[in-house]
Amino acid sequence: MAAEIQPRPQARKPCLLSKIEAFQEVVTAAAIIPKEDGVISVSEDRTIRVWLKRDSGQYWPSVYHTMPSSCSCMSFNPETRRLSVGMDTGSICEFILSEDYNKMTPGLTYQAHQGRVAVVLFVLEMEWLLSTGQDRNFTWHCSESGQQLGTYRTAAWVSALKFDVETRHAFVGDQSGQVTILKLEQDSCSLVTTFKGHTGNVTALCWDPAQRVLFSGSSDHSIIMWDIGGRKGTAIELQGHNDKVQGLCYASHTRQLISCSSDGSIVIWNMDVTRQETPEWLDSDSCQKCEQPFFWNFKQMWDSKKIGLRQHHCRKCGQAVCGKCSSKRSTIPLMGFEFEVRVCDSCHESITDEDRAPTATFHDSKHNIVYMHYEPTTGNLLTSGTDKVVKIWDMTPVVNKAWVAAFSHS
């Protein structure tokens, strides 16, 4: 059913602990059970499974339950052992797991959506069940009575959802690249604001209630940190992926962000540094360094008898420049650019070796990730891939305070 990996000591790398490989289809969502050596998984193969680690070191299913249709998402609350499973049909089915995780008792079923459920989120403090679907509806139900309390029609299909208990704010990320903040009441909601920073659809959200910071990941390969608590509209970009961002988790005790993308990359970001906003790109009809005209500036091209040039932008200062004046490349980690990007020649000269010091580490999970879950109490990370395999990683070599301190001064 599952193989135990004998870890070899490797400094500063996630350590693969176990693999679970018994699935017929992709695992759409899964969670590590805190205080138990166990995993809960839901899959396109219509199964809900609870895996417990046996004395042999292997994970075996203590619960194997087949649903009438594919399972699209899930939410698990360890305190109540309540499992909420979103279905391909639009319904949400709830179960209560026994204390020993060997039995699962059916609970309420919610007819929540007309299409596939995209995200489900149980909020114990409010006794609410929040959900979004491909029908472009965001709904919330009373988890005690099963009654629908309210619904909000979104402009695009919602693909990511988080909730802040203190303010009752729901953060809704959709396929248009927009993040909407809604204030929820018992039977109504109001629009607070919207953020638009991604050029692709929002694929993942992560909320840190302590710092009051929202992270959003997108199919445009980028992550944006929205400083909501600062009330200054600060948005910090993080560019460290070459493919669609599939998951985000924040380790608040070490101030590190864990992100993964569909190419299998796992990135650990040190957020305990002072980061800078990327500049707005400036508009100009000619290079702001050498004043050569760009190719649409016919008048200057005619007057100067020169061929128009292609426009580029320096990622550090935002100025519009020609290729000759921006022939250099550099990383700018404090601006979020962990890969080399185009900079103008004058900015390149101003960037020091200290400015180029990386603020993230990069790791290969060796499978194309579709879902991830981080459990801070154990320091373990779960990844699910298109290869129908679930992997469990020990992240303590890279997610710890000593590593952050060493990394910050390296």
Residue 2 included in any domain:
no
Q: Which two tokens stand for residue 51?
A: 């895996």
Residue 396 included in any domain:
yes
Residue 113 included in any domain:
yes
Between 3 and 57, where is the model more confident?
A: 57
Statement to judge: residues 245 and 302 lie in one domain: no
Beta strand segments in 187-244, E? 189-196, 202-208, 213-218, 222-227, 235-239
pLDDT confidence bin for 277, thresholds 50/70/90: confident
The top-scoring range by mean pLDDT among 116-130, 232-246, 279-293 is 116-130
Domain boundary, last residue among 331, 354, 377: 354
Statement to judge: residues 194 and 328 lie in one domain: no
Statement to judge: residues 70 and 99 lie in one domain: yes
- Has residue 210 got a pLDDT over 70? yes
Between 105 and 274, where is the model more confident?
A: 105
For the question of whether the overall pTM of this predicted structure is more than 0.85, the answer is yes
pLDDT digits (tens, 9 = 90+) for 119-131: 999 999 999 999 9
Statement to judge: residues 150 and 179 lie in one domain: yes
- pLDDT confidence of residue 404: 56
Residue 101 included in any domain:
yes
- pLDDT confidence of residue 10: 41
Q: Is 92 exposed, middle or buried (0-12, 13-18, 19+ CB in 10 A)?
A: buried
CATH number of the domain at 239, please: 2.130.10.10
| DSSP β-bridge partners for residue 317 | none
Statement to judge: residues 85 and 183 lie in one domain: yes
Structural domain including 120 reads: 15-276+357-406
Residue 3 included in any domain:
no
Q: Is 304 helix (H, G, I), strand (E, B) or coil?
A: helix
Statement to judge: residues 341 and 387 lie in one domain: no
Statement to judge: residues 62 and 203 lie in one domain: yes
Residues 6+ away with beta carbon under 8 Å from 271: 225, 250, 255, 256, 257
Statement to judge: residues 309 and 397 lie in one domain: no
Alpha-helix runs per DSSP H in 273-399: 298-304, 345-350
CATH number of the domain at 325, please: 3.30.40.10
Share the mean pLDDT of the chain. Answer: 90
Q: Which two tokens stand for residue 75?
A: 């939410």
Statement to judge: residues 139 and 209 lie in one domain: yes
pLDDT confidence bin for 4, thresholds 50/70/90: very low
- pLDDT confidence of residue 187: 85
Statement to judge: residues 319 and 213 lie in one domain: no
Residue 144 included in any domain:
yes
Query: Are residues 277 and 332 in contact, defined by beta-carbon separation less than 8 angstroms?
Result: no
pLDDT confidence bin for 1, thresholds 50/70/90: very low
Query: Are residues 207 and 171 in contact, defined by beta-carbon separation less than 8 angstroms?
Result: yes
The total of structural domains in the chain comes to 2
pLDDT digits (tens, 9 = 90+) for 59-111: 999 999 999 999 999 999 999 999 999 999 999 999 999 999 999 999 999 99
Residue 285 included in any domain:
no
Statement to judge: residues 37 and 117 lie in one domain: yes
- Has residue 388 got a pLDDT over 90? yes
In this structure, what is the dihedral angle of CA atoms 365, 367, 373, 374, given to the nearest 10 degrees?
Answer: -10
Domain boundary, last residue among 311, 328, 354: 354
Query: Are residues 317 and 325 in contact, defined by beta-carbon separation less than 8 angstroms?
Result: no
Query: Are residues 404 and 255 in contact, defined by beta-carbon separation less than 8 angstroms?
Result: yes
Q: Is 308 helix (H, G, I), strand (E, B) or coil?
A: coil
Residue 372 included in any domain:
yes
Statement to judge: residues 387 and 307 lie in one domain: no
pLDDT digits (tens, 9 = 90+) for 159-202: 999 999 999 999 999 999 999 999 999 889 999 999 999 999 99
